[in-house]
Chains A and B, each alone.
Chain A
Amino acid sequence: MAAKPRVATCSLTGCFGCHMSLLDIDERIIDLIGLVDFDKSPIDDIKSFTGPVDVGIIEGGVSNDENVEVLRSFREHCGVLVAVGECALTGGVPSMRNLVPLKECLEEAYLKGPTLVGGAIPNDPEIPLLLDRVYPCHEVVRIDYMLPGCPPSADVLWTALAALLKGEEPKLGYELIKYD
């Protein structure tokens, strides 16, 4: 038997809602596990790629330098890269900060907030560096397919994955394209 297709997933600047939605495919998850092997993913907690992967699933937009690094490594390792959810597609809710310059954002959060006394903007070297704005994934690497939704419903994810695993283009009907 040929090896099962490998799937990797990650959450950049997102809320894990898209991953939750993936779990929402209910009993079909058994089918899914029969169909694919998971590589790097929070689902199996594998931290780094074990080799090339067929389908990469990205949740979340790109808000800091670590996100950039992770997304690039997904592009490198994955044959097909699928951006999933509004944050990955447009920046989503985190990108609401794009309306305010980063400096003002940080000052409001860490220096001027009404409940703050003697605040300081964190600068520990362990903390990823924020980008000037939150970028949608397609502005950082080439993305093959986009699945909208906040989160995309389990049906969207299932329909798209099933198509991709068969080597087909995912096609979403009217009821599956939603931005919320």
Chain B
Amino acid sequence: MVCNADEGEPGTFKDRVVFTEVPDLLFEGMTVAGYAVGASEGIVYLRAEYEYLLPGLLEVLDRRRRLGLLGRNICGKEGFDFDVRIQMGAGSYVCGEESSLLESAEGRRGAPRTRPPFPVTRGYRNQPTALNNAETLCCAARILAKGADWFAAQGTRDSTGTKLLSVSGDCARPGTYEVEFGLSVNKLLALVGADEAAAVQVGGPSGTCVAPKDFGRKICYEDLSTGGSVMVFGPGRDMLEVVRDFTEFFAEESCGWCAPCRVGTEVLLRMLDEIRDGRGTQDHLYRMMQLGDTVKACSRCGLGQTAVNPFLTTLRNMRDIYTERLSAHEYVPRLDLKKAVAFSEELAGHRSEVKEE
């Protein structure tokens, strides 16, 4: 039984709230999950940056052991053995991907495994492994306490229950919110004090970027699905710059195993830079879309499959941020003559007679 607490999606900090506010709920969830699947060993894979939370969590585990809520014969139930250890992450985004997490937890390089087999068949040390995130496990504990009907009564038909959202960016009241699934972006913005929002990134960089015309859309699996990150961008933000930064983040975090993600994210970044610098053309957009589709379809793991989302979703939802930056010319040379001859001019002591175009 593994808890994925490698909360690394930019703009996500809800697990941190769980660890500091309701750690017992999480461990309770793990314990009942362990009971349900017949596991006796639980591992929390904790994000490296959360190391400062470790002493507090270890204390909670100790207390639970003393109370008979962990260890052998839990709650006096014969044969109900379960304990939890905390494995510190090594600080890589891709380790939030379940199979990389297991690789890393076993002490190897954090890179995704070939799937199938999936962790439920062969996971941690080749054992069948149930792997869930902290929030899911907390829900499990609450469902057991309050009943499935209570849970299912909230949310929408296909997304029952509530969702923790980490809201950040240009809003008056950033923070972690627990909301019912199905909440519209508009309502959320009102809640957090962001009437002016010009764009909202739902689901972190790998999610969807929505423009005001789509603020009526709902946060739930059937519409705008999210792992919990919501970033609000005010009217003063340069969204192309935001997309560029997200793309750089993914290029940086790509594990390098597979070609489309390793090379594709980097090339996309260069192309975005060309657009930013006014050197882009319609042809750029066309080719970048092909590139995006390829990286999305063919990459080996979730990182690559979603790394192009910032570009693809903004291209769909706010095309202007690109088209307004395109060059007026149909073709723009990649050669920057002035820069390209600068060194030779200095060496020769005279200027090139060939003019800039």
* A69 CA / B352 CA spacing, docked (Å): 11
* Cβ-defined contact, A142 with B330, below 8 A: yes
Report A137-174 residues with CB < 8 Å from chain B CB. Answer: 139-142
Report B310-357 residues with CB < 8 Å from chain A CB. Answer: 330-331, 333-335, 337, 339-345, 347-350, 352-354, 357
Query: For residue A127, which residues in chain B have a CB less than 8 angstroms away from its CB?
Result: 348
Can you list, as one digit per residue, whether each of B112-152 has a CB less than 8 Å from chain A (1) or not (0)? 00000000000000000000000000000000000000000
Question: Nearest 5 pairs between A and B by C-beta?
Answer: A139-B334, A129-B344, A142-B331, A123-B348, A131-B340
* A130 CA / B347 CA spacing, docked (Å): 10
Report the tally of A-B residue pairs with Cβ distances under 8 A: 57
Query: For residue A33, which residues in chain B have a CB less than 8 angstroms away from its CB?
Result: none
Measured as residues with beta carbon below 8 angstroms from the partner, the interface class of chain B is 20 to 34
User: Can you list 22 A-B contacts with CB-CB less than 8 angstroms, sorted by A residue number?
Assistant: A62-B335, A65-B337, A68-B337, A102-B343, A106-B347, A123-B348, A123-B350, A125-B348, A129-B341, A129-B344, A129-B345, A129-B352, A132-B343, A135-B334, A139-B333, A140-B333, A140-B334, A140-B335, A141-B331, A141-B333, A142-B330, A142-B331
Q: A72-B357, A123-B349, A135-B335 known; 17 other A-B pairs, CB under 8 Å?
A: A62-B335, A65-B341, A68-B335, A103-B343, A121-B347, A123-B350, A125-B350, A129-B341, A129-B344, A130-B341, A131-B337, A131-B344, A132-B341, A132-B343, A139-B334, A141-B333, A142-B330
* Cβ-defined contact, B354 with A102, below 8 A: no
Query: For residue B357, which residues in chain A have a CB less than 8 angstroms away from its CB?
Result: 72
Query: For residue A106, which residues in chain B have a CB less than 8 angstroms away from its CB?
Result: 347
* A48 CA / B262 CA spacing, docked (Å): 47
* Cβ-defined contact, B354 with A139, below 8 A: no
Can you list, as one digit per residue, whether each of A64-78 has a CB less than 8 Å from chain B (1) or not (0)? 111011001000000
* A155 CA / B343 CA spacing, docked (Å): 41
Chain B: which residue is nearest A139 at the CB level?
B334
* Cβ-defined contact, B341 with A123, below 8 A: no
* Cβ-defined contact, B354 with A131, below 8 A: no
Instruction: Identify A139's interface contact among B335, B344, B347, CB under 8 A.
Output: B335
Query: For residue B340, which residues in chain A have a CB less than 8 angstroms away from its CB?
Result: 131-133, 135
Query: For residue A123, which residues in chain B have a CB less than 8 angstroms away from its CB?
Result: 347-350
Q: Decide if the interface of chain A is mainly helix, strand, loop or mixed.
A: mixed
Query: For residue B339, which residues in chain A have a CB less than 8 angstroms away from its CB?
Result: 132
Query: For residue B343, which residues in chain A have a CB less than 8 angstroms away from its CB?
Result: 102-103, 132
In the complex, what's the smallest C-beta–C-beta distance from B274 to chain A, in angstroms? Answer: 11
Instruction: Identify B354's interface contact among A69, A121, A125, A141, CB under 8 A.
Output: A69
In the complex, what's the smallest C-beta–C-beta distance from B304 to chain A, in angstroms? Answer: 27
In the complex, what's the smallest C-beta–C-beta distance from A59 to chain B, in angstroms? Answer: 18
Chain B: which residue is nearest A124 at the CB level?
B348
In the complex, what's the smallest C-beta–C-beta distance from A12 to chain B, in angstroms? Answer: 13
Task: Output the residue of B335, B341, B348, B352 with the most chain A CB within 10 A.
Answer: B335
In the complex, what's the smallest C-beta–C-beta distance from B301 to chain A, in angstroms? Answer: 32
In the complex, what's the smallest C-beta–C-beta distance from B350 to chain A, in angstroms? Answer: 6
Report B48-78 residues with CB < 8 Å from chain A CB. Answer: none
Query: For residue B330, which residues in chain A have a CB less than 8 angstroms away from its CB?
Result: 142
Task: Output the residue of B334, B343, B344, B350 with the most chain A CB within 10 A.
Answer: B344
* A65 CA / B334 CA spacing, docked (Å): 15
